[in-house]
Amino acid sequence: MTALAASLQKRFEVGLAFFYPEGCQVCRTEHATAGDGFVCARCRSQVRFIEPPFCERCGLPYPGDITAPFECANCREMELHFRSARSAVVAHNVVREVVHRYKYQRALWFEPFLSNLFLRQALPALRRRDWDFIVPVPLHAVKHREREFNQAERLAARLSAASGIPLNSKWLRRIRPTATQTLLTRQQRAANMRGAFAVRPGVRLDGERVILVDDVFTTGATTSAGAEVLQAAGAGDVCVWTMARGL
């Protein structure tokens, strides 16, 4: 973490500690601090980090001993436009509750918890290759006004500060409001995202290697649509990183 990132993190934690008691905001019984994102050690122990074996394309984890590279049925059936997608943790139990409250109830005190999970997995993997930019998946302007923040952009900013890879939140924009993906099938999700993204007028890439960041990956419809637009604009390589992975 850079000195600037560490300074900003410390100020954020001090501000949270002033307004909130040092108690876990999930179980409401154990001690937790602002630096923990107000999630106690017992609740954090329920987090399932994603480790191999997993699908080489979308990162879907599989049980058992699989030693050869493989691609899951979802990836074989879908036309995905990113080279690979990886996620830090499985979106269940504590993670699922925290993500929901963070996004829809503006529970921003959970951000250190979520970003720490994200950075723990993403940073070592990203250091193995050279990347030019981090690009967050954008919200439509209407939804951004309703929510008042873009969770993908906030996570991407933390990843940028910790990795030193420049953040670019201007290239990609969402030009069409879309229905929530939660209750849609895989095919419906892909159709829902068709034509949802565009690059800003005048943007032309020249082979840049891009990390596309979102909060949760389910079927890959959203990130694939964003990756397709970036590649059409000239990106040389697009990989996806998300904080959580729906199963």
**Among candidate residues 109, 119, 117, the one with its CA nearest the CA of residue 157:** 119
Q: Which of 177 and 168 is assigned the larger pLDDT? A: 168
Q: Which of 77 and 49 is assigned the larger pLDDT? A: 49
Looking up residue 186, the CATH number of its domain turns out to be: 3.40.50.2020
Does position 39 have pLDDT exceeding 60, yes or no?
yes
Same domain assignment for residues 6 and 108: no
Same domain assignment for residues 134 and 224: yes
Angle between helix 186-193 and 221-232 (nearest 10)? 40
Query: What integer pLDDT is reported at residue 129 of this predicted model?
Result: 86
Q: Which of 190 and 199 is assigned the larger pLDDT? A: 199
Tell me which residue range forms the domain holding 163. Answer: 46-245
Does position 187 have pLDDT exceeding 90, yes or no?
no
Query: What integer pLDDT is reported at residue 111 of this predicted model?
Result: 96
Q: What is the mean pLDDT of the chain?
A: 90
CA distance 240 to 214: 8
> How many independent structural domains does the chain possess?
2
Same domain assignment for residues 61 and 107: yes
Query: What integer pLDDT is reported at residue 77 of this predicted model?
Result: 83
Q: 175 falls in which pLDDT band (50, 70, 90)?
A: very high
Does position 37 have pLDDT exceeding 90, yes or no?
yes
Same domain assignment for residues 97 and 22: no
* Sheet hosting strand 237-245, strand order edge to edge: 84-90, 237-245, 209-217, 133-136
Does position 12 have pLDDT exceeding 70, yes or no?
no
Measured in degrees and rounded to the nearest 5, phi and psi for residue 32 equal -155, 145
**Percent of the chain whose pLDDT exceeds 70:** 91
Q: Do 165 and 135 touch, CB atoms closer than 8 A?
A: no
In tens, the pLDDT along 73-120 reads 888 888 899 999 999 999 999 999 999 999 999 999 999 999 999 999
Q: What are the structure tokens assigned to 11, written together? A: 């100020």
Strands (E), 91-142: 133-136
Same domain assignment for residues 141 and 26: no
Q: 189 falls in which pLDDT band (50, 70, 90)?
A: confident
Residue with tokens 């409250």: 101
End-to-end CA distance of the chain: 31
Query: What integer pLDDT is reported at residue 9 of this predicted model?
Result: 59
**Residues ≥6 apart with Cβ < 8 Å to 16:** 34, 38, 109
Does position 66 have pLDDT exceeding 90, yes or no?
no
CA distance 220 to 231: 16
Same domain assignment for residues 31 and 72: no
The reply to whether omega before 166 is within 30° of 0 (cis) is: no
